[in-house]
Amino acid sequence: MNQSALRYFLEVARTGSVNAAADRLRVAASAVSRQVAKLEDELGASLFERRSRGMVLTQAGRLLASYAQRTALESDQIVNEIRELSSAGRGLIRLGITEGLAVSFIPEMIHAFRLDRPHLLFNIKVFPPAGVVKAVQEGEVDVGVTFSVKPEGGVKIQWQQAMPSYAIASTNHPLIRRGRVEISELLKYPIAILDDAATIRQVLDMYCASKGVSLEPVATSTNIASLLTLCRLGAAVTFSAYISVRMAVRDGHVAIVPFNEARFLERNLQIQTMLGRTLTQTTMDFISFLVSELEKPEATYPISPEGGAA
């Protein structure tokens, strides 16, 4: 099969539109249509259902899309590995991560990993959790690091661990010196939280619904840095895994408030890759490095002055 035709076909599959695919490929829509038609003639099967809302893959189309995607990724991998060999390790790792991990944890990991591989390049894309999964499934990123509350198809879980949640507040908040508190006590204060695309919001909403409690945040955001500023100013309390706020806690900008029902707000932190995809050795080395860092207690749990997890 013609590789250009496969590339055009795959772009239509991704966008659901000949015109959108043509725009992304910077070619005429008629050229895209011709290439798709040639593939259908060659294979003797319809690859798309033409609907008013766009192009939808048939069963044959889904099979071909899976093949074309793997072929494209394997080609990218070979090119990347050859570049690493010929340019002293100048490879590229594409990461898809959620908002909280982008604040400090992943940048810290990249910095530490590059100390021994200074020519290695990274591309970081920040998505909602569902967006990370989609980017992994479609090969847009090599590695996804995200919180998850349900199983996902089309991805391989390289590592996962349940992460408790904590309340985050200003360092002089009245609840700081109380030790563990109840969620009902926290909800008496103004709450600021990520929007409903975030898993922390989803599990908090489910908990509140199970208790018949109405959650009415004073602020919602897609950006955790804005929520941490509200907390630092004493304007609100938020909820988060420690890994998403650990730099702000270490720097003394905000403080942790542990609460008794934390198990109800647990989520799995996962490292994901595309199912069936072969990754470069450098990418696998980075995954191993991430796992080794994540399995250190201080990476994911706040440590009390006495030396134990709070």
List residues bridging with 259 in a β-sheet.
181
Residues in the chain, how many? 310
CATH architecture of the region 87-162+268-300: 3-Layer(aba) Sandwich (3.40)
Q: What is the pLDDT of residue 303?
A: 59
Q: Quick count: other Cβ atoms within 10 Å of Cβ 175?
A: 19
For residue range 162-211, list pLDDT tens digits in order.
998 999 999 999 998 888 899 989 999 999 999 999 999 999 999 999 99
The residues, any chain, with a CB within 8 Å of residue 151's CB and separated by 6 or more, are none
In angstroms, the CA 217 to CA 226 distance is 14
Q: What is the pLDDT of residue 75?
A: 75
Q: What is the pLDDT of residue 76?
A: 73
* Nearest Cα residue to 165 out of 60, 237, 58, 91: 237
Residues of each domain in the chain carrying CATH 3.40.190.10: 87-162+268-300
Q: What is the pLDDT of residue 295?
A: 93
In angstroms, the CA 231 to CA 170 distance is 5
The CATH class, in words, for 165-265 is: alpha beta
In angstroms, the CA 112 to CA 182 distance is 38
Pair of tokens at residue 108: 């810290």
Residues of each domain in the chain carrying CATH 1.10.10.10: 3-69
Give the residue ranges of the chain where pLDDT is below 50.
305-309
Q: What is the pLDDT of residue 84?
A: 65
The DSSP output letter for 273 is E
CATH architecture of the region 3-69: Orthogonal Bundle (1.10)
Give the pairing of strands 54-57 and 48-51.
antiparallel
Write out the E strands in the chain.
48-51, 54-57, 92-97, 121-126, 143-148, 155-163, 165-169, 192-194, 219-221, 238-241, 255-257, 267-274
Residues of each domain in the chain carrying CATH 3.40.190.290: 165-265
Q: What is the pTM of this model?
A: 0.75
Residue identified by tokens 């941490």 is 228
Q: Quick count: other Cβ atoms within 10 Å of Cβ 299?
A: 16
Angle at 247 between CA 244 and CA 251, to 5 degrees: 145
Q: What is the pLDDT of residue 300?
A: 78
Q: What is the pLDDT of residue 308?
A: 40
Q: What is the pLDDT of residue 86?
A: 56
